[in-house]
Amino acid sequence: MTKDLRIGIIGDYNPEARTHQVTNAAIGHAAAALGITPLVEWIETTRLAQPASEVLGDFDALWCAPGSPYRYMQGALEGIRFARQSPRPFLGTCAGFQHVVIEFARNVLGFVDAQHAEYDPSASQLFVHQLACSLLGKTMTIVLNPASHAYRIYARGEVMEQYYCQFGLNPAYQPLIEGGGLRIAGFDTDGEARILELDDHPFFVATLFLPQLDSTAERPHPLIMAYLQSALEWREMPQPLANQRVA
């Protein structure tokens, strides 16, 4: 029997943006393979000016989409924080990765002035900086941490993925991010972070690349398959456990 699954996408939807089109399509590919009917709703960042729990509480999983700068950065951060604390399945791609870094730096590590260079390039705490070489349109190798969830999902040590970005985690802050509990699960060949994940969460993965660009109906992307499978498991959990909050 087909199952419905509510997916909330945090981002300012643009029907003409290819990255938004492929996000919807990739969810459809993985859902079809799992026998799920995805009920996808895009949540504009300005809607998250109100408490995130009121807007996002009924979704089975959340995704922070490409499309930075968002109309309301704080709204995106509140959505990510809600997903991290709920804790319910979460995937952040491209700008989603970047804003995961800022949310974690501010709310877990205590760097209240942590900033993203796209919003304020002169900020003193640029946890997300402009990359020396743009990754826009590039396909590159990612080396996976053997102890990571991502490694188990891909079932191999190296993968090739496509990017659509010019900003990433500042390497100067990588030790702080990982030391605080946000694991660097995948690196580029220069050792810079390309996949982040939380260990003490059912599914919390952020990728600087866009797995949705490499998804087809015949070959749904494994990360997106794992994300939806986790959402199914989340939905079936007893609610007192499902709503247990983390720090």
Q: Three-state SS for 59?
A: coil
- What are 74's two structure tokens? 């704080």
Phi, psi of 53 (to 5 degrees): -60, -30
Instruction: Give the C-alpha separation, 42 to 62, whole Å.
Output: 10
Structure tokens at 172: 């100067």
The pLDDT profile of the chain, 247 residues, written as one tens digit per residue, is 458 999 999 999 999 999 999 999 999 999 999 999 999 999 999 999 999 999 999 999 999 999 999 999 999 999 999 999 999 999 999 999 999 999 999 999 999 999 999 999 999 999 999 998 899 999 999 999 999 999 999 999 999 999 999 999 999 999 999 999 999 999 999 999 999 999 899 999 999 999 999 999 999 999 999 999 999 999 888 754 445 444 4
CA angle 108, 109, 113 (to 5 degrees): 105
Spatial strand order in the sheet of 36-43: 36-43, 3-10, 61-64, 90-93, 204-207, 193-198, 182-187, 139-144, 158-162
- Predicted TM-score (pTM) of this structure: 0.94
The H or E element that residue 141 is part of is strand 139-144
- Which amino acid, 244? Q
Task: Out of 3.40.50.880, 3.30.2020.30, 3.40.50.150, 1.20.950.20, select the CATH number for domain 3-242.
Answer: 3.40.50.880
Taking phi first (over 0 means left), then psi (-120 to 50 degrees means alpha), and beta for anything else, what does residue 154 get? alpha
